[in-house]
Structure formats: structure tokens, C-alpha cells
Structure 1
């Protein structure tokens, strides 16, 4: 099964996420449903179902106090002129949380992340952006780059199963770790 470790964005931010996504309605992007928007802390990839209890037990060893995150600003990967992903910025103690998760799962030999961890929540995937719309897109990005989304308490991480379907992914929480 496809699995990952995530921090969910709270329901209180879903309305603001919808507002932002509506601003991009002129573009044919693949939007993430607001109730599925999350911060991926570690993508595990395909894991045998039999290893889920051991992964869950390992995640129980994560030591990180709960913290508050300021969700603010819009950005893209890899860069504005060649955007593939539109994301929300998230600050807070995510680096420590990431290190703790990475250390807790080190014995499983999951593939190492090639880039530096950057806490973000994906809003949309850009499959195609016509040249004639690129300027409008870049202007909108510039307008929203410092947009205020809100605050959230980060007090748990979740091990999730991801089932890909033609209508989009279905996420199921397999295990939750309350931060203390």
C-alpha cells in the first residue's frame, strides 16, 4: 500500500483554502480537495501492509512538543515560470518534527529525500499552463505570495494510506501519534 506521514490542516482553514483555489479558476489545474490538504512530513511509498504495525510503533517514539504554525503565503515548485505544484507556506517547528520522524523510521530504509525538507501544503498540481495565460498566472502568484491563511495547532502526526483513484486520492488514517 502507498503510505505517508502527515499533519492535517484543520477544518477552520478549509474555507480560506477554497477561496484561494477559486482565484485560480481560470486555469485548468488539478486542485486538492480542501479537506485533503495536508503537510507531508515523510512519503513512505509502497509498503507491505504487514509492516504497518511496526511503522506505527516506531512513530510512537517521535518526541516533539505540540506547536503553533502560521499558514501564510503561496509559492510554487520548482519555480514560477515552470510551476508544477502550488503550495501554502507553513512555519513552526516542522524541521524538528521532520528530523524526529526521519530518525524514528531510519531502520526501515525508506528512500532518502533528495531535497531539504520544506513544510508546505499542496493546493494544486499544474499539468499545463498555456503561454497566453502565463502572465496572468505570475501576476496572481505575486498578488497572493504573502496571503494570510491563519494559524493552526500542530499536536499530532498521522500515518496515512493513499489509494489513487481516477477521481483523486482517498486518504485513510492508519495510526495517529499525539505530540507531547
Structure 2
């Protein structure tokens, strides 16, 4: 899972462009509510050959959340440290987009990263990724890294970065998101 932190309410026109993008990338596109999508992403859309699946489709949930759009309680639960985030990334998030792979193969990690980049090109924002032990050394110095910080788990940091950061990180040998 990756989270895209957003500084403001997402305009209707941006939601429409997000819907178009996800529809283009998906073999199955189900809008559960405005801003929440159950998807089968075509891995070939990102130039990835899916050796695990015959059909080349991976299940995902993409959820835009925050006041006025939905999943407000989840947004509040995921964002108890808004002041900390403002100091790190320059704004206190008002909304977010969760990009959630519903499988855990290596291809799902890469697809999550590239899907997040594509979504960020529509919505803007800053990616927020929890890091596994030892990954901080891998991400330090990558282009587009904005900040790192410790999370509630003392040994697990989080990284904040641009779409460029997510792309650069996903190209690192052994790339894997925290599961």
C-alpha cells in the first residue's frame, strides 16, 4: 500500500480525470462510491509482464478519502500527526488517496508503485510510504525524496516523496513495499 497525501479538497474535474485514468488501466473497473474503485489493473499498461497470472491483471483498491468525499474516519485514523506532517512535507494533509494491492507478489509491489505514480500525475500530492527495516539506507539520496521520519513503530521509518521518488525507488534491486 502507498498513500498519496493531498493538501486540499480534490476538485470534481480531477476526480473525473482519475476515473478516466483508472478505467483505461483496468480490465475491471467498479466504482463503489465517488472516489473509491475496485480494479483489475492491466500490468502491461505499465510495461510489466505478469508471469504469475495468465490474464496479466492484478486486483487493486484505490480510495480517495477525506472530508466531503468519504472514508473520513479512516482518513482521521491514518492522520493523527498532521502537525508532524506539515513540518516534514510543508502542509497538513486534508485528503489522501490509498493505493492498495490486494495480492502480495513482487509484481504487486511494482504495480502499486507505478499505479501510484500515474495517480499522482492526475492528483498531485506527496507519496507516503512506510519502510521495512533496512530500507531507509536504500531510499536516502534517491531523487524526489522529501523527508523521512520514524513511525509509531520505533524501528520502522516512513518516507515522503514525489512521483520521481517512487519511480526511482521502484527501480532499486529487490524493491518491496512494507506489507
Flag the structure with higher strand content. 1
TM-score normalized by the length of structure 1 = 0.28
TM-score normalized by the length of structure 2 = 0.29
**Structure whose CA Rg is larger:** 1
